[in-house]
Structure 1
Amino acid sequence: MILKHVLPTTATHFFTLFFLYAEIHLRLLKLPGRLYQRWPEILADVPHRIEPGRKIPILVICKDAHHFPVTLIKIRLELRGKQYEPQKIVLSDEPQILNQRWWDKIFYIEPPKNIGSEFLIDVFVEVIKKRRRKTIQNDNYKHSSHTSFKIRLAKTSLPAFPNQYSGDLHSHSNFTNDQVEFGASLHSMRTMAAAMGFSFVAVTDHSYDLDDKPDNYLINDKKLTKWKMLH
């Protein structure tokens, strides 16, 4: 009788882990993972709202290239809007080897004229790994929709009154790094928040991530390197 109840539950857990396990660079018991790939995580991000008078920051991140080195060839973007001829902009075309755990860079563009208050941006990153060339649109996650970034150019600033501030009360930096999530660098977070008109960002990193080794979140760090880096 016990086996009748235990086996179905065990089987359910096994198949859930087997088909839905979401780690990009770590395979569970060396089983094939749904999202596993032998490429670094490469993704872009753009604020959805731009404060009047601000340039538009374009953030590009490459994570875990120390496991899967690549050569960055070119970064470009495309702007699209209603009744607006698509515009292509090259952000970088100088080849660069990426072989570190974390790399990020922010590029700036001027808000396009005559595009309207809302428009779309797509970021394309061209990389090479062992003679294999890839062009990544917004991110390189398997099964991702690679959806365009929808940007709104604000006509007025966020409301501001004495002792009133606008900001984000829940966010993670790249000090949070585990099988489920990670954030951007503190500098990038500050830059993107300012572009949206925020006065502050509350960084709510996980304590269980802060006591891991910077280059391996599966091993606890007795020296508490991450904690010390925050002081």
Structure 2
Amino acid sequence: MADVPFRVEPGAPVPVVCILKDAHLYPVHLDRVSLRVRYPSGRVRELKFRVDEDISQPLWYRVFRFDPEELGDLKVETFFYGLRRGRPFLVRNDNIRTASHRPFWVLASPHPLPKMKGWHYGDAHFHSSYTRDQAEFGAPLGAVVEVAKALGLSWFAVTDHSYDLDDRIDSYLESDPDLPRWREFLSEVEGLDFPVLAGEEVSCGSTKGHNIHLL
């Protein structure tokens, strides 16, 4: 699947995050990724990025970038070309059955985010790839840092689910009291060249027996 930010700062390239999940169960050969960009003027631009890689890890990602060339709302479509079990496949934007597969829209803004002295934009609620279970998963931190910079953010907080952060590294169905995933998460955050706040979204039961999430 692919994703793009909803806007980019003036002069920033548009990052396109491409993710393959569960390739250790369903290995593929990814030949290339193509982008189709439609500009406000009506011009259409095609870009091709060669990958030529056998992918068999639980979570693989790559960030492709392009210069907006025009300001305004850009319509972006992503196409994955490769082989699965020796047969060619094509995925447009994502292969999630319940998704619309619609194109992405990104604003190549002519203006930077308005700021006062000492003002720092950030995102206080974000799920990374350390949230990984039957229901949802997030993007790798390295990709998110690049997207945050393009958006014009100065920081973000990672608030992955507490019931994911206590899992085993190799299985989200089993917990590990030594918290290896939590420790790996903290180590990766400390190694980033961008201000990232390490947190968690705590799942707990209310007095009415409902599952609630606390930040």
Equivalent pair of 2:39/2:73 in contact (CA under 8 Å): yes
* Aligned equivalent of 1:86: 44
Unaligned runs of 5+ in 1: 1-42
CA distance in structure 2 between the partners assigned to 1:143 and 1:157 by the alignment: 35
Q: Equivalent residues in 2 for 1:14-29 (5 A)?
A: none
* Aligned equivalent of 1:135: 90
Tell me which stretches of 4 or more aligned residues in structure 1 moved more than 6 Å: none
CA distance in structure 1 between the partners assigned to 2:140 and 2:15 by the alignment: 14
- SS of the residue aligned with 2:95? coil
Equivalent pair of 2:40/2:72 in contact (CA under 8 Å): no
* Aligned equivalent of 1:187: 142
The Cα RMSD (Å) is 1.3
* Aligned equivalent of 1:201: 156
TM superposition shift of 1:78: 0.2
* Residue among 175, 186, 192 paired with 1:220: 175
Report the TM-score, using the length of structure 2 for normalisation.
Answer: 0.82
Q: How many residues align?
A: 186
CA distance in structure 1 between the partners assigned to 2:89 and 2:53 by the alignment: 15
Which structure dedicates a bigger proportion of its chain to strand? Answer: 2
Q: Give yes or no for the alignment of 1:96 onto 2:53.
A: yes
CA distance in structure 1 between the partners assigned to 2:170 and 2:78 by the alignment: 27
TM superposition shift of 1:158: 0.8
Q: Give yes or no for the alignment of 1:174 onto 2:129.
A: yes
Q: Give yes or no for the alignment of 1:58 onto 2:16.
A: yes
* Aligned equivalent of 1:29: none
Identity %, equivalent residues: 37
Provide closer, same or farther for how the CA distance between residues 184 and 128 of structure 1 changes in structure 2, counting only shifts above 3 A.
same
Q: Give yes or no for the alignment of 1:145 onto 2:103.
A: no
Report the TM-score, using the length of structure 1 for normalisation.
Answer: 0.77
* Aligned equivalent of 2:115: 160
* Residue among 45, 67, 70 paired with 2:25: 67
CA distance in structure 2 between the partners assigned to 1:148 and 1:194 by the alignment: 22
CA distance in structure 1 between the partners assigned to 2:105 and 2:155 by the alignment: 23
TM superposition shift of 1:51: 0.3
Which structure dedicates a bigger proportion of its chain to helix? Answer: 1
TM superposition shift of 1:77: 0.5
Unaligned runs of 5+ in 2: 188-215
CA distance in structure 2 between the partners assigned to 1:223 and 1:127 by the alignment: 39
Q: Equivalent residues in 2 for 1:1-40 (5 A)?
A: none
Larger radius of gyration: 1
CA distance in structure 2 between the partners assigned to 1:87 and 1:228 by the alignment: 43
- SS of the residue aligned with 2:124? strand
CA deviation string 1:108-163 (max 9, x = no partner)? 111123xx411200000012111222111110111321010101111111111123
CA distance in structure 2 between the partners assigned to 1:200 and 1:145 by the alignment: 31
Instruction: Write the letter of the residue equivalent to 2:52.
Output: P
* Residue among 53, 62, 66 paired with 1:105: 62
CA distance in structure 1 between the partners assigned to 2:117 and 2:178 by the alignment: 43
Instruction: Write the letter of the residue equivalent to 1:194.
Output: K
TM superposition shift of 1:73: 1.1
